[in-house]
Amino acid sequence: MREVTRPDEAPLSDFEIAARLAAVPEWQRHGGTMERTYLRRGFTDAVVLISRIAALAEARDHHPDLHLERYRRLRVALTTHACGGLSAADFDLARAIDEAALP
C-alpha cells in the first residue's frame, strides 16, 4: 500500500460511505470496495465501455478492477489502495463511469 498523498484518497468513514452510496444507488459496498455490474448489448459494446472507463481512470490516475464476464457483463470494482478502503476518488469515478455507461 502506498502513502495517501492526495486529499481525495483519504479514507471515508462508514457514515460518509453510506451517504455517498445513496447518490450512486446501483453501486454496492463489499467491505473496502464498491462494485457495479453493467449488462451491455454484446461483447463489442462491453469493450467500448471498458475503453471509456480506461480513459476516465487514466485522467484521474485512479484505476478500477474490470471484469468482463459472459461476453457482455462488465463488473467494475473500485477501492483506493493507498488508504485501504473507499475514498472520495472512488465515488467521483463511480459517477463518471455511470455517465459513460449511458446509452
Q: What is the DSSP letter of 37?
A: E
pLDDT in tens, 18-64: 999 999 999 999 999 999 999 999 999 999 999 999 999 999 999 99
Determine the Cα–Cα distance for residues 101 and 31; give it in Å rounded to an integer: 24
Domains of the chain: 7-100 (3.30.1360.20)
- Binned at pLDDT 50, 70 and 90, residue 1 comes out as low
Task: Assess contact for 87 and 9: CB atoms under 8 A.
Answer: yes
Helix (H) / strand (E) element for 18: namely helix 14-21
- What was the pLDDT predicted at 5? 77
pTM equals 0.94
Determine the Cα–Cα distance for residues 6 and 88; give it in Å rounded to an integer: 10
